[in-house]
Structure 1
Amino acid sequence: MALTIGPLPTDPPPTDAADSVPARRGARSPRALGAWAAVAPLLIYCAIFLGLPTWALLYEAVRRTNPATGVTSFTAQNLTDSWSGFYLTAMWGSLRLSLLTATISVIIGLATTHAIAQSRGRVLKQAVLTASGVLANFGGIPLAFCFIAAAGTAGEATGLIRKIDPGFALDTFTGLVLVYPYFLIPLMVLTTMPALEGLRRQWREAATGLGGSAWDYWRHIGGPILLPTALGGFVLCFGSAFAAYATAQALAGGTVPLITLRIASVLSGNVLAGQENLGMAMSLNTIGICALMMAVYLPLRARSARWLDS
């Protein structure tokens, strides 16, 4: 029996040497250059209106003038003083108010967002999202005026609130705790709505089909997916409450020790001689805390996005 041999495989066609050489690391594609050109105006804007003021704040925070000699020198005394005495009390007051109001907003916001996400009414969902977008930015003097009219000394709801808390007043710590969630809860709704809408119905059905309860679903599937978003929303609410100024100033004035109110008092001239730059040091502290909050928020947000895209 004859043995036939097919044609031998030929060598692959030669390729151009230029094609086989990997692109140089320093080379950039036109698309990448176009992206950088598109974002360049925003970067320049941030560098001018955010970078330069921050640098000036840092420069002034480490300068101090001796009231006796008039000599200005660089020192860390302003930073040290900003973390002592009633300045430390004001910082602790802001931290305590921000933690409490952020916690309240996360609990109520998650429950509200879950209820809206599970509803099938598209009009209701769109109305809630639109209202949340407006209310999340409704702060400052208008919000303070609304609460003064509703729950102030002669407000319509003051008597009802004082049946629960006889010592209630808007110019106290409790009053601020009541007011702040008004704009923090809508912010929490806007932050967590995409994550709750991203929970697929098939995951719940699969868990039920395998014999899992609702608790098992939230413990092993829904909870781990929503946890980064919930923590990110908490950080965002904390930062918004910590940086709020106009609402607290209009409601409490100087009765509640808050770092933002203390900074305004120092910058307006209510400071000892030689400590004119103490307000700059306190402002630098608040920027550091807000930067820390954003450093925590961004990785949590990225992790939540990876969960929902998978």
Structure 2
Amino acid sequence: MPARRGWLAGLGLLPFGAYVVIFLALPTLLAVGTGFFDADGAVTLDNVAALGDPVVLQTFGNTLWLSLITSVVGAVIGALVCYALVGTKPAGALRSFVDAASGVLAQFAGVMLAFAFIAVIGAQGVVTLLLADAGIDIYSGGIWLYDLPGLILPYLYFQIPLMVITFLPALEGLKPQWAEANSTLGGSALSFWTRIGIPVLAPSFFGSLLLLFANAFSAYGTAAALISQGSPIVPLQIRGALSSEVLLGRANLAGALALGMIVIMAIVMGAYALLQRRASRWQR
């Protein structure tokens, strides 16, 4: 009977397994595999060698910089929001509103988010024109919204809610008994956070930080809608490689770029898994 139940459970996972293989594993293998072939279909390492090209390295550097900035800022602000929420009623109106809003805003990316920012603070946006009437020109140094620095604000728009979703359960997991024990032994609030709170929350915080980094590193839709000229980040460079037959003098460069992204993402998610395993020890 146990063997039959295990077989039935495995059968229930079959549709999900097929979905993962067809829509995740197979496209990934095909995308990466094309990077090892030239335009004539012959095996080559030229595309992989192109990852050392200064243009490609600069693009990866821009993507890492953007991901690091938005993940660190998003993690810090999101953690502060979580800290403020812990003092509210779990079933209260404020907590329910923030939880619902975070769940929606964390997924509100892509073209719609880009359009919202263009309509609000674009060159002819509502806030931009109101500030111009007041004598404030936010684009005196150039239209930064449509360049690499302009991606920081839109990315933070979905990074902060994602941090709230992932880090709030860890903050709520701090047991009141630990604070009571610290107070009984004569400890202060500072000693509680330095000796108990921060060490316990550190794996969860850095795990959430890595998740935010991976989220920003792989984001495409918002950047594609805002930046129409050039390819300052890797996802846009992959788009450029797919839309043109030859980029940097090499065909099928998109596969090599995808390989570079997958390697970085594998390292980040591997570190995330290790941190989550360590964090789970305090959640039992």
Provide TM-score, normalisation by structure 1.
0.82
Cα deviation, residue 31, structure 1: 4.1
Q: Structure 1 unaligned segments of length 5 or more: list them.
A: 1-27, 66-70
Partner of 1:89: 58
CA distance in 2, matches of 1:36, 1:157: 55
Q: Which has the higher contact order (CA 8 A, sep 6+)?
A: 2
CA RMSD of aligned residues (A): 2.4
Task: Return the letter of the residue paired with 2:169.
Answer: P
Cα deviation, residue 148, structure 1: 1.0
CA distance in 2, matches of 1:292, 1:272: 27
CA distance in 2, matches of 1:148, 1:97: 19
Greater shift in the superposed pair: 200-209 or 242-251? 200-209
1:45-60 paired onto structure 2 within 5 Å: 45-60=19-34
Q: 1:273 to 1:223 in 2, by over 3 A?
A: closer
2:95 is equivalent to residue 125 of structure 1: yes
Give the one of 59, 83, 108 matched to 1:138: 108
1:39-78 paired onto structure 2 within 5 Å: 39-65=13-39, 71-78=40-47
* Contact residue 143 and residue 247 of structure 1 kept, 8 A: yes
Report Cα offsets for 1:149-180 as digits up to 9, x if no partner.
111113243338x6788536211332211221
* Contact residue 153 and residue 169 of structure 1 kept, 8 A: no
Q: 1:59 to 1:220 in 2, by over 3 A?
A: same
* SS of residue paired to 2:262: helix
Q: 1:273 to 1:130 in 2, by over 3 A?
A: closer
Name the one with the larger helix percent.
2
Partner of 1:151: 121
CA distance in 1, matches of 2:277, 2:127: 42
Q: 1:73 to 1:231 in 2, by over 3 A?
A: same
Partner of 1:10: none
CA distance in 1, matches of 2:194, 2:37: 53
* Contact residue 106 and residue 185 of structure 1 kept, 8 A: yes
Partner of 2:7: 33
Higher alpha-carbon Rg: 1
* SS of residue paired to 1:308: coil
* Contact residue 172 and residue 255 of structure 1 kept, 8 A: no
2:74 is equivalent to residue 99 of structure 1: no
CA distance in 1, matches of 2:67, 2:245: 25
* Contact residue 172 and residue 256 of structure 1 kept, 8 A: no
CA distance in 2, matches of 1:145, 1:238: 23
Q: Structure 2 unaligned segments of length 5 or more: list them.
A: none
CA distance in 1, matches of 2:247, 2:157: 37
2:212 is equivalent to residue 242 of structure 1: no
Provide TM-score, normalisation by structure 2.
0.89
* Contact residue 47 and residue 256 of structure 2 kept, 8 A: yes
1:109-120 paired onto structure 2 within 5 Å: 109-120=78-89
Partner of 1:20: none
